[in-house]
């Protein structure tokens, strides 16, 4: 799925990749994320991500936590979504629908 917007969000800085899609379509992004993880030898659910749901329980954001072990995963995700911005190594990446 193609992102709608890519930006650094402050004051608690993180890099946000916005898809502007429905909650249902956002599950396709989650599936892509798992495939990207597999391609670099990462089990995505092994503490590399957290999921945030809205009040109805629908997935609306996924945070990828930065760390030494997850750096190749983060680089692969950023490359997959065409992010060319320079992002500090300690900045987490958030995929979201808004």
Query: Model confidence over 28-75: pLDDT tens digits?
Result: 999 999 999 999 999 988 889 999 999 999 999 999 999 898 999 999
Tokens of residue 62, six digits: 């996924």
The pLDDT of residue 1: 86
Interval 22-28 mean pLDDT: 94
Question: How would residue 92 be classed by pLDDT, with cut points 50, 70 and 90?
Answer: very high
How far lies 28's CA from each of 21, 74, 76, 80, in Å? 10, 18, 17, 14
Sign of the torsion formed by the C-alpha atoms of 63, 69, 75 and 77: negative
Per the structure, the complete domain to which residue 34 belongs is given by 5-96
pLDDT at 81: 96
Per-residue DSSP letter, 37: H
Q: What is the reported pTM?
A: 0.91
Query: Pairing between strand 49-53 and 5-9?
Result: unpaired
Instruction: Specify the number of domains making up the chain.
Output: 1
């Amino acid at each position: 799925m193609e992102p709608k917007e890519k930006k650094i969000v402050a004051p608690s800085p993180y890099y946000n990749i916005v898809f502007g899609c429905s909650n249902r379509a956002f599950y396709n992004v989650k599936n892509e994320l798992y495939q990207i993880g597999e391609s670099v030898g990462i089990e995505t659910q092994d503490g590399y991500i957290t999921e945030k749901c809205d009040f109805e329980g629908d997935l609306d954001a996924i945070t990828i936590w930065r760390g030494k072990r997850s750096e190749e995963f983060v680089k692969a995700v950023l490359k997959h979504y065409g992010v060319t911005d320079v992002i500090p190594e300690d900045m987490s990446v958030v995929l979201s629908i808004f």
